[in-house]
Structure 1
Amino acid sequence: MTAEANAPHTEHGPDELCPAGALLYRRALGEGRVTVTDATATPCLVDFGLLQPSLDDPDRLDPVAPVVGLHRLLRMSQERIADERRREERLTETFTALMRTASQSATGEASTLRVLSGKERIDRTIGDVMAVATDQVLTIQPHSTHVGPHPRVHEAALARDQALLDRGGRIRTLYQHTLRHAPTVLARYELLRGDVEARTLDEVTERLIVVDRTVAFIPASADRSLALEVRHPALIAYFVNTFDRLWHLATPMHPQAVHQPTLNGITPRQRAIAALLIEGHTDSDIADRLGMNVRTARVHIAKLAATLGSESRAQLGYLIGQSGILDREG
């Protein structure tokens, strides 16, 4: 027997095997069975269902096949995860109610801010609000909203939006320039029928949805697993005002697309990059703000440098300032 096998057994979860338990289980698989006495020091094997009493000898234990044991342990793990998720939901519901109570006691009015937890609950709440909308929906969709989600996510949003348009509503959406030719975006506007418009900018804010100028939804966490449902009139007015200002600065995309001109060999994308370069942003920052990957950003920077005749990063900043290309914006 090894020192590990003789070591006192310590309590542990089913997501791991103690050294003594792993050793005895391996032995049981090799020999076909072990004695009850052998397993006394490793009760975890019986507790986790990896050893079971022999049908023909009560003093012996038979090993369960590893594939069966793994399935049992994975099922136990899934059940623990499900229990934790239900616990999180209960906590969220409990504290949401407490926040609403606190708001009511402080203002005498129903809460105008509500935390939504979980993407399914967020989508369901937005869907419920959209189902009774009659006027207008304003949305801002950054590049990340169309990178990664399963196509069914866009299909559900498309059906929801078309229902509003069929009721005579209006939809205005702001995207980043990098989404002008995204397949999911192009497909959306090929299918939608009604009063729907879209425009693009180099940079936009985080995701925003404003419905009928009465309720808005904004992210409350970086991974968008939390959202804020906003019904405060002052905040709604602020969101609408911000949207309108960005809308007037944006380039039309649908129903009539307008393309910004290239000036002296400098494209609109390169002018946007130039503006961020002279502010001192890194390649990674530029890529993140303009909704592209770093490699693409560096390709644009290299083309910009070649057009202006720059041989270094420092010289590029100087030539951008001297060229006057940013003076032509807006």
Structure 2
Amino acid sequence: MFRNLGGGDMATRETKPTHPHGVTELCDEGKRLYASALRSGRISRSEVEPAPCLMDFALLHPDPDDTAWLRPIAPSAALAQRLHPIEREIQERRRRSVELADSFEPFMDISAQDPPTTHAITVLEGSHRINAALDLATAECRTEVLTVQPGGDRGEDRLSEGLERALSVVDRGVAMRTLYQHTVRHSQGTLAYAARLAESKVEIRTLEELIERLLVFDRTVAFIPARNDDQVALELRHPGLIDYLVKVFEQLWSRASPLLGELQYDPPPKGISGVQRSIAQLLVEGHVDDSIARRLGMNVRTCRAHVAKLSAILGSTSRAQLGYLIARSGILESDS
């Protein structure tokens, strides 16, 4: 942007660039010239040409006695001119804040008489906030904890964390029931964890397939994942939601087998194990290897090994043929 000085055609006018700064960020040249004008009482127009901001901000004005000179505005006067609109705005905001406070005061009195509202669903973002909510629910728990933990081997760190939390609960006389998947029966760490808690009020059972992770404390608050990366969870306190989740847990519990006991399978048809029969069912339903492995709590390599055994037993030469042979073999009918 350019500033037009003098008259005449646009092509012949002299122009000077303005200074792109505010009065609170006065340029170094402007500061020097303004200070010089204050000390001497005036300054020539030609001398202030490098700092047109002094005229833009009305820090200098023409000398009435000589148009070639400029006189400085007193700093106190310049400051007052700029403070006045700010103070007026502050006063207006204060008036507005008083009006808002007066408007809401009657409602504040009403809300103070009632207990604080408990949110039926609270979104917890980030592992720190999720763990803090779990720690609080654990500390406040008095009667019972129900948990569903899908997946395979828990890992040493997660088992240690789980053991510490479980002991803090059962040492207060709180009962605890946990559901794992059958694949944890091959995890020595999980078996040791179960043995450590065997003499306390902790029961652990396993199933072939489970729902997503679930924790219920005292049948009043529950936690479920809201995203696959475990970084977002939902804290549920609605009685209807809690009752529904408890019923789901009880149905799964009634079908599960004690972790430290023997699994009771129907006689496997044609040499096919219970795990392979579960995989066959999911294959017929159209699931891919990644989905099957996730649902049954095993890694993809193990899942593919079971699929290969199924193919060998049934004489399949392709994935498409395998689904047809599973359906024709009748191996899934023994589940009924």
Q: Same fold (TM over 0.5)?
A: yes
Structure 1 equivalent of residue 12 of structure 2: none
Is 1:243 aligned with 2:255?
no
**Distance in 2 separating the partners of 1:145 and 1:310:** 31
Instruction: Report the count of equivalent residues.
Output: 220
Q: CA deviation at 1:163?
A: 2.7
**Distance in 2 separating the partners of 1:158 and 1:198:** 13
| Paired AA for residue 290 in structure 2 | S
Write the mapping of 1:99-248 to structure 2, written as runs, cut at 5 A. Answer: 109-143=117-151, 146=154, 151-192=156-197, 193-248=199-254
| Paired AA for residue 310 in structure 2 | L
What is the alpha-carbon root mean square deviation over aligned residues?
A: 2.2
Q: Is the 1:203–1:290 Cα contact (8 Å) retained in structure 2?
A: yes
**Distance in 2 separating the partners of 1:171 and 1:257:** 21
Q: CA deviation at 1:154?
A: 2.7
Structure 2 equivalent of residue 325 of structure 1: 331
**Distance in 1 separating the partners of 2:153 and 2:217:** 18
Unaligned runs of 5+ in 1: 1-103
Structure 2 equivalent of residue 68 of structure 1: none
**Distance in 1 separating the partners of 2:163 and 2:137:** 15
Q: Is the 2:225–2:233 Cα contact (8 Å) retained in structure 1?
A: yes
Write out per-residue CA displacement over residues 239-265 of structure 1, whole angstroms, 9 at most, x where no aligned residue.
Answer: 1011111112223324x3434255131
Q: Is the 1:135–1:170 Cα contact (8 Å) retained in structure 2?
A: yes
Q: 2:279 aligns with which of 259, 273, 283?
A: 273
Q: Judging changes above 3 Å, is the alpha-carbon distance between structure 1 residues 238 and 286 closer, same or farther for their aligned structure 2 residues?
A: same
Q: Is the 2:148–2:180 Cα contact (8 Å) retained in structure 1?
A: yes
Q: CA deviation at 1:210?
A: 0.3
Q: Is the 2:147–2:215 Cα contact (8 Å) retained in structure 1?
A: yes
**Distance in 2 separating the partners of 1:166 and 1:203:** 30
- Greater mean alpha carbon deviation, residues 237-246 or residues 160-169: 160-169
**Distance in 2 separating the partners of 1:204 and 1:110:** 30
Q: CA deviation at 1:187?
A: 2.2
Q: Judging changes above 3 Å, is the alpha-carbon distance between structure 1 residues 252 and 168 closer, same or farther for their aligned structure 2 residues?
A: same
Write the mapping of 1:27-106 to structure 2, written as runs, cut at 5 A. Answer: none
Q: Is the 1:165–1:194 Cα contact (8 Å) retained in structure 2?
A: yes
| Paired AA for residue 202 in structure 1 | E
**Distance in 1 separating the partners of 2:145 and 2:219:** 8
- Greater mean alpha carbon deviation, residues 190-199 or residues 132-141: 190-199
Q: CA deviation at 1:268?
A: 0.5
Q: CA deviation at 1:144?
A: 6.5
**Distance in 1 separating the partners of 2:237 and 2:202:** 24
Structure 2 equivalent of residue 295 of structure 1: 301
Q: Is the 1:113–1:231 Cα contact (8 Å) retained in structure 2?
A: yes
Q: Is the 1:137–1:212 Cα contact (8 Å) retained in structure 2?
A: yes
Percent identical across equivalent pairs? 49
**Distance in 2 separating the partners of 1:184 and 1:218:** 25
Q: Is the 1:261–1:267 Cα contact (8 Å) retained in structure 2?
A: no
Q: Is the 1:131–1:160 Cα contact (8 Å) retained in structure 2?
A: no
**Distance in 2 separating the partners of 1:307 and 1:152:** 39
Q: CA deviation at 1:139?
A: 0.6
Q: CA deviation at 1:327?
A: 1.2
Partner-residue secondary structure (3-state), 2:259: strand
Q: CA deviation at 1:180?
A: 2.0
Partner-residue secondary structure (3-state), 1:229: strand
Write out per-residue CA displacement over residues 167-194 of structure 1, whole angstroms, 9 at most, x where no aligned residue.
Answer: 2222111112222222332121121131
Q: Could you state the TM-score of these two structures normalised by the residue count of structure 1?
A: 0.61
- Greater mean alpha carbon deviation, residues 227-236 or residues 127-136: 127-136
Structure 2 equivalent of residue 96 of structure 1: none
| Paired AA for residue 151 in structure 2 | H
Q: Is the 2:153–2:190 Cα contact (8 Å) retained in structure 1?
A: no
Q: CA deviation at 1:220?
A: 2.1
Runs of 4+ in 1 over 3 A off after TM superposition: none
